[in-house]
Homo-oligomer: A and B are copies of this chain.
Amino acid sequence: MSKLVAPHGGKGLVICKLEGAARDAELKKAAGLKKIEISSQVKGDLIMLGIGGFSPLNGFMTKADWKGVCADFLLADGTFWPVPVMLDASKAEADAIKVGDEIALERKGEVFATMKITEKFAMTEDEKKWECEKVYKGHGEESKDEVFFEKAMKDHPGVQMVMARKDFCLAGPVKVLSEGEFPTKFKGVYLTPAETRAVFDQRGWANVAALQLRNPMHRSHEILAKIAIDVCDGVLIHSLIGNLKPGDIPADVRIECIDALIKGYFVPENILNAGYPLDMRYAGPREALLHATFRQNYGVNRMIIGRDHAGVGDFYTLFEAQTIFDTIPTPAAPGKALLCQPLKIDWTFYCFKCDGMASLRHCPHGKEDRVVLSGTKLRHALSNNQEVVDHFGREEVLVILRKYYASLTEKVEVKLQSHAEGSKM
C-alpha cells in the first residue's frame, strides 16, 4: 500500500485526459465543435487537468469558484485552492456558445481538449483588477497601494496575463486530448502525478519533499535539496517546463544542468528529476500555495519554500511565501484542506568562515565572508566565458550554461551578419 500523501481534494487523482479509442472518437467529434483559441497559460492548465495535477479540479472554474478562491482560498464546495484556473473567451466566441454546448479548445491549430459548458460569465476590467489585487499583490515595494497596479502592468507578467484575458469566462469539465510537446520534448522528465507516485512507491517513500525550480540548479538550490534529503525519504526536483518570461533559461538547458548536478553530487536513489507543464504566474505567496497544492497530487507532502519563492521584481517580501502557509484556511471536512506542508528554508549561500554552505538561520558571519552573486553578474560571466566566483555553482553545470550563452551569442552574430550582408545587397 502506498505510504504517500493522498491527492488533494479527497477524490483521488482526477484525471481528465482521454486515451486510445475514446480519445480518437473525441478528436473526431471535436472537429465538428465550435472552437475557442486558448492562451499558453490555459494550455498548461489544461494539461495539468488532463494528468491529474490539478485534482480535484476537473475543468475550468465557475464564477463562484473564482470569487471564493480569490477572496478566501476556497472553491465553492469549500475545498482549499489558492489561484484561479480560468478559461477566457472573447465576446464573439462567447456569444456563439450557450450553456450545455460542447466546444473544442485549440491553440495554433492543435485541439487540446473538449469542454462541456456549465456556465458562461462576463469578467469586467474591475473584476480582473480585483483578482490581481487579491492574488498577485504582496507586501514588497512594488505592491504598495498607490503604485501596485501601474507597476504590475509594466513589470508583473502574471498580472499582465490576467489583464490580457478576454472579456468572458467559460466554466465546465474538460476532456483533455493532447499533452502538447511535453511527452516527446521532455521524455523521461515530463512525468504525470501517477508516474511520480509509482516511482516513490517503488522506492518505499512516505515523506517526499519537492524543490520547485525555474532556474538552473546552483549550490544555493543544491543545498535545499540536500537538506530535504536528510530529513525526508527523498526529493522531487520539479522544474517548470512551460513558459517563463523572456530572457530566462529554456527548460531543456535547465534540465541538462540538473541531470549533470545529480550525476556528480547526489545519490540517485534519493532524488528524482522531473518537470511539470505550467507557465509561471509569478504570484509569489499564492503561487507557493499552488506549488504545494499540485505537488500533493504528485505524491509530495513537504514543499520546499525558500527566499522570494515564485516572485518577480520587488512585488513580494523575501519570506511572505513562507508565512502565508500559517494564515490559510484549513477546512475540517475530509480531503478539503491542503495536506502538503511547507519546508521553510532561509536564504542559503557558501560562507568561507563556515567552510561550506550555510543559511542565514545559522551563519553568524558577514556579507564579506559569503558568496552571493547576482543573476546579472552570473549571466555576464557566463556569456563572456569568464570565471564564475568559486563555490557558487558546480563546474559541470557552468560548462553547460557557458555553452548555452555562447550559442545565443552565435545566433545574434549570425543575425547581425546576415543583416549586414543583406544591407550590402
Q: Which among B264, B345, B350, B360 is the interface contact of A231 at CB below 8 angstroms? A: B345
* List of B residues within 8 angstroms of A363 by Cβ: 265, 267
Contact A345 B266 (CB under 8 A): no
A357 contact set on B, CB distance < 8 A: 356
**A229 interfacial by beta-carbon distance below 8 Å:** yes
A230 within 8 A of B: yes
Closest residue of chain B to A359, judged by CB?
B230
Is A355 located at the chain interface by the 8 A CB criterion? yes
- Residues of chain B lying within 8 A (CB to CB) of residue A350: 356
Separation in Å of the A13 CB from the closest CB of chain B? 27
Chain B residue nearest to A356 (CB atoms) is B356
Q: A334-369: which residues lie under 8 A (CB-CB) from chain B?
A: 343-346, 350, 353-364
Asked if A229 contacts B362 (CB within 8 A), the reply is: yes
Residues of B within 8 A of A353 (CB): 265
The docked-state distance in angstroms from the alpha carbon of A374 to that of B176 is: 60
The 17 listed contacts between A and B (C-beta, < 8 Å) are: A225-B362, A226-B358, A227-B231, A229-B359, A229-B362, A230-B346, A231-B345, A264-B364, A265-B353, A265-B354, A265-B363, A266-B364, A268-B364, A270-B362, A271-B362, A355-B391, A356-B356
Query: What are the interface flags for A352-390 relative to B under an 8 Å C-beta threshold, 1 for contact and 0 otherwise?
Result: 011111111111100000000000000000000000000
Chain B residues near A355: list those with CB within 8 A.
356, 391
**CA gap between A265 and B264 in the complex, in Å:** 28
> A361–B265 contact, CB under 8 A?
no
Q: A265-B364, A267-B362 are in contact. List 11 more A-B contacts (CB 8 A).
A: A226-B358, A226-B362, A227-B227, A231-B343, A231-B345, A265-B354, A266-B364, A267-B361, A350-B356, A355-B356, A356-B357
List which A298-336 residues lie within 8 A (CB) of chain B: none
Closest B residue to A364 using CB positions: B267
> Which of A242-283 touch B at CB < 8 Å?
264-268, 270-271
Residues of B contacting A343 in the complex (Cβ-Cβ under 8 angstroms): 231
Interface centre among A226, A266, A356, A359 (most CB of B within 10 A): A356
